[in-house]
Structure 1
């Protein structure tokens, strides 16, 4: 929290790994990978499907997630806390039903919130590092640890959240037996492959969006490919594609990219000064 007269750096601040990473354009590919991964937890994805029309609102869900990440990363402490409170309030009143057992459960179960959190953080870290964003192992661990703060915002106990790569890997190994590509995951997969769009935009969807979705899917871990039942290119091929895509997107001037609403980064720079500009080379400072 900033003192009186001092600009509020927010929950993470310009000295964090998170601040530098989340300004990278490959976060969009990482976000789609997170959707693919999250859909493999039947209880978690059921909570989404039973409380919204995913096929009609998937774009809105993706944009709301991006806005939440942007607010909690670059917004003031007050804005981040309010965003977290809104999410907790929404989750607290939503339930889902297991069609096989009839069990009714809350979507804010800690185990489900933890899965969503870990799938997101793993996806952000994996895609950015593999696409060429410069992070040492120690900095990757620091990034994971920083996001215990974000986990608190959605209602998790920070002490129960993985703090580094070893703990995150152990978590995924522990939860893997619970994962499956059920009907809900198939719906997510189908949407991501062929999202509804205006007929005039179908060619653009096939040229642009399909490449993003294919790349996000290809970057999933092998067990996810096995569950979905669709093969992926060889890992070396995927890495080359990720690095080429990252290099291309990073050629677009950051100021131009950051003009897209809701302009979280530009607002943060206006609040804290030009020195707060996120950049990969600042991670090691």
Structure 2
């Protein structure tokens, strides 16, 4: 029979039925239409988030500064897991499914030309807010707000005007990050109670407000958040446009870094938590057989993770934050 994880990956190996992309690269078998073209870039290079652009925190101020979250928070417990990073694809696809978000990325970034550079900068920002000192986190948020203030345009498919500082757009992006992290953690790390989910959401409120989401719009529970997200999808406010489909190709079918086995595994984990209608809209084949295989992978992952050494299991930013605090907190605390 073989190991569950290996069995789950077998359907993804390129076989005779898998088409080839230009240049001889094979299309992953989960793709249902292997001939979609790309839109040309309409925008300018995006401002880059570099560590050097952010305000430096004096060493004396950094020591003992737990930032926005800190030891004992649900944020640190969940966001430190490397496996949660595999949900980045899911969050990204959900974000692009808002036509205004897709238009903004297409028109105001170099994502098509440098998708993994964009991912790297996004991770720097995300981990600086999650695990950095208060000064560093506030610096990142200020930097992001400055970028968003200059982002506006027209959605090509509808002609609607958009602004990146639109509170509903900001809430949608925030919701995708919260929802995806919770789904991945609950499925692949350990079960999360409803109360813990709501606590994780509440912990993220100060960050969301600083980024421009009015507190009055913020859902009180994760259940409310998910109902709102589902209603936006069902009502057509969130829908996969040709722009979103084109942008998704750079991540779903990368031509180089990272190695294929890495992005294949990450994508499968992400696909397992996405709504079926979103998967279909992006042309991703996801049947019962693959869903059952990933359920077995999730079981194996939950059992194996406690045995994985910390340097492999947890993101470097969390380990650096613990060193900064020098609290001596237990690795699983």
TM-score normalised by the chain length of structure 1: 0.84
Residues 57-96 of structure 1 mapped to structure 2, 5 A cutoff: 57-96=114-153
Give secondary structure in 1 for the equivalent of 2:200.
Answer: helix
Give secondary structure in 2 for the equivalent of 1:69.
Answer: helix
Name the residue aligned to 2:88. 31
| Structure 1, unpaired ranges of 5+ | none
Name the residue aligned to 1:187. 246
| Aligned-residue offset at 1:154 | 1.7
Give secondary structure in 2 for the equivalent of 1:59.
Answer: helix
| 1:2-40 CA-partner distances (Å, limit 9, x unpaired) | xx8982211112121111111111122111211121121
Task: Give the 3 Å change call, closer, same or farther, for CA 67–153 of structure 1 in structure 2.
Answer: farther
Count, aligned residues: 270
| 1:234-285 CA-partner distances (Å, limit 9, x unpaired) | 3443332234356556654223565x7xx42233112222434552xx3xxx
Give secondary structure in 2 for the equivalent of 1:219.
Answer: coil
Pair 1:169-2:222 in alignment: no
| Aligned-residue offset at 1:214 | 3.0
CA contact (8 A) 1:13 1:74 kept: yes
| Aligned-residue offset at 1:170 | 2.2
| Aligned-residue offset at 1:210 | 2.1
CA contact (8 A) 1:21 1:278 kept: no
Residues 1-285 of structure 1 mapped to structure 2, 5 A cutoff: 7-100=64-157, 102-176=159-233, 177=235, 178-197=237-256, 204-205=259-260, 207-234=261-288, 235-245=291-301, 251-256=307-312, 263-276=316-329, 279=332, 282=333
CA contact (8 A) 1:29 1:216 kept: yes
CA contact (8 A) 1:40 1:182 kept: yes
| 1:162-217 CA-partner distances (Å, limit 9, x unpaired) | 2322211221133112122211221233222211327xx8xx32x33223223312
CA contact (8 A) 1:26 1:246 kept: no
| Structure 2, unpaired ranges of 5+ | 1-60
Q: In terms of mean alpha carbon deviation, does 94-103 or 49-58 score higher? A: 94-103
Alpha-carbon distance between aligned partners in 1 of 2:172 and 2:329, rounded to the nearest angstrom? 31
| 1:137-169 CA-partner distances (Å, limit 9, x unpaired) | 211111111111221232212332223222112
CA contact (8 A) 1:215 1:241 kept: no
- Over the aligned positions, Cα root-mean-square deviation in angstroms equals 2.6
Alpha-carbon distance between aligned partners in 1 of 2:175 and 2:152, rounded to the nearest angstrom? 21
Give the greater-gyration-radius structure (CA): 2
Q: Which has the larger share of helix?
A: 1
Alpha-carbon distance between aligned partners in 1 of 2:286 and 2:101, rounded to the nearest angstrom? 24
| Aligned-residue offset at 1:220 | 0.7
| 1:101-156 CA-partner distances (Å, limit 9, x unpaired) | 54443112111111111011111110111113242221111111111122123221
Give secondary structure in 1 for the equivalent of 2:153.
Answer: strand
